[in-house]
Every structure is written in structure tokens, then in C-alpha cells.
Copies of this chain bind each other. A is one copy, B any other.
Amino acid sequence: MSLLRQYSRYPAPDLGRYRRFVVAGSHVGWVKPELASELSGRPDIFELSAGDLHMHAGLATPEARSAAMAKVLHALRGQGRVPGWRDELYPVTQNFGETPLLVMERAAAPLFGVLAYGVNLNGFVGRGWEMKIWVARRAPTKSVDPNMLDLIVGGGQPLGLSPVENLLKECQEEAGIPPEIAELAQPAGIITLLIEAGEGLRVGQQFNFDLELPERFRPQNQDGEVAGFELMPVSEVMHRLRSADEFMYDIALVLIDFLIRHGFIGPEERDYLPLIAGLRRPIPFAASVPA
């Protein structure tokens, strides 16, 4: 079956059905119209203008905006509308690395369609069709995608760490990969996410890394978020991507990107070009080439 099945799990959203979310003049996300109307009932914090939802111009500093957003999100949380609350603050910017316009709870990012960043590690052993990829089964207690298949290491990009620093931290916590091995990981590009999640829009850019692990290495989860690890032959990974939806959606994209970069999928693959196009759906406001 075509690997395109993975993309069809979440059709591309119709952005015209959302209100743009604008902070300090910068377009940073999308909000469902019903939520935008509701939020405009807090005129000290939000205002609707020309169809867009703006944070109130009177909230003139990142601190003021972050405090106001926290107030709003705690109220929504009280109504059970922010599933998977993590107590983890995400910076809101238009482009990666810019000074944050505000910070907000990570679990609420889809409600406002703001860009969330992450890191992923493809940890493998061997080369060519002898290659095996380390795969994790997520713990049944995870709030997002319990029991699904995942990479050996991956995680959201928190405030104050570079992607490489974050990767080293996650390598230690999620799989017990010591820094002297983890720092051999090579950056290998990105995938983007732009899908409708139940509560809003999931928008993401994820930094991918490859790491050839020593044969003798065995991952050991330190944070209780993993049920187990498996060293899966690359042919088996590809078969599962073709035939089922066992991997998390974003991880399926990361793996398809890996399989294409390493030559396991080539131009003779039906749908090679659409597969490549789907790895990085353009995010209208973020990191595009200057015209």
C-alpha cells in the first residue's frame, strides 16, 4: 500500500476556516472562529479586528501578554478544554529563535494554532537493508498517543535550550543515551506539521537528527514514559508504515523522511514526489524564503 496512507490520517486543514491570531502585529497562529468570538468577550485581553483575533495592544510586554494568556488558559483548563496540561511553557514567535512575544502552556498550542518546535532522533544500527531502527512503545499512561509506536528519543522544544542541547537532555531522560554518544548525532533537516487536531490546529516544525548507535547499546528509559524498546529491521518499519497506523503521526513523517534520505525509498516508488511534498507542508507565516 502507498505510504501516502500516513498523510491521509489528518487531511490538510482549510486555513480559511480559522481566524488569524495576531500578537504585537505579527501573525503567529490560527484560532477557530467560535473560540475567537468567545475570547473577544475578554476585551482587556483580546480584540477582533478585520476578522483577525489580536492580543490587546495595551498588553505591551511579553510579561503582560504571558500573564493574561495564563489567566485565560487556566479558565479554559477549569472547563476541561486543555487536555494533557503539562505545566511546560512554550515560547510564541513567528520564526524560530526570535524573542518570544509571549510564553504559554504547551498543551494549549493547538487552541491558538501557534508553532510548536520539537526534536527527534532516528537511532539506528547497521547500514543498508541490514539496518535496524530503535523504536519505542509509548507508555499506556501518556496523555498523547498512549501505546503507539514512537522513536527512541523525541520531545518538545522548551524555552531556553537550543535544539542540540534539548536533544542531549532527551537522549539521557528517554533512553539513557550518554552525552558522549548522543553528541555524535547529526542534524538532518526538518519535517513540518500542519493538521487539524480535535481542539484546533497543530502547527509544528521538528528538528531531526540521525545517530548510528553502537551494536551493544541498549536503551533504558529514565522517565517512565516508555513501555519498551525494540530494534526493528528497516524493512519492517517500512512495512508497518505501509499497512497500519501504529506510529504516531509526526513520527511516521520523520521515518518517511529518514527512509527517503537514506535511499530506502527512491524515484521508483509510486507517489515519491507527493510523499516528499508532504514532509514539509509550508506554514504560511513561518520561515519561508525572502521574496
Using a CB–CB cutoff of 8 Å, the interface residues on chain A facing chain B are 4, 7-8, 11-12, 95-96, 162-164, 186-190, 205, 207, 210, 260-263, 265-268, 272-274, 276-278, 280-282, 286-291
Contact = CB atoms under 8 A, between A and B. Distances in A.
Contacts of A11: 291
A260 B187 CA distance: 7
Number of chain copies forming the complex: 2
A162 to B, nearest CB: 7
A273 B186 contact: no
7 contacts: A8-B290, A162-B267, A188-B263, A189-B260, A190-B276, A274-B288, A277-B280
B282 A187 contact: no
Nearest to A128: B186
A262 B205 CA distance: 19
Contacts of A187: 260, 263, 265-267
A289 B263 contact: no
A102 B277 CA distance: 25
Nearest to A257: B189
Contacts of A272: 96
A266 B190 CA distance: 10
B263 A277 contact: no
Nearest to A13: B291
Residue among A266, A278, A280 having the largest count of chain B Cβ atoms under 10 Å: A266
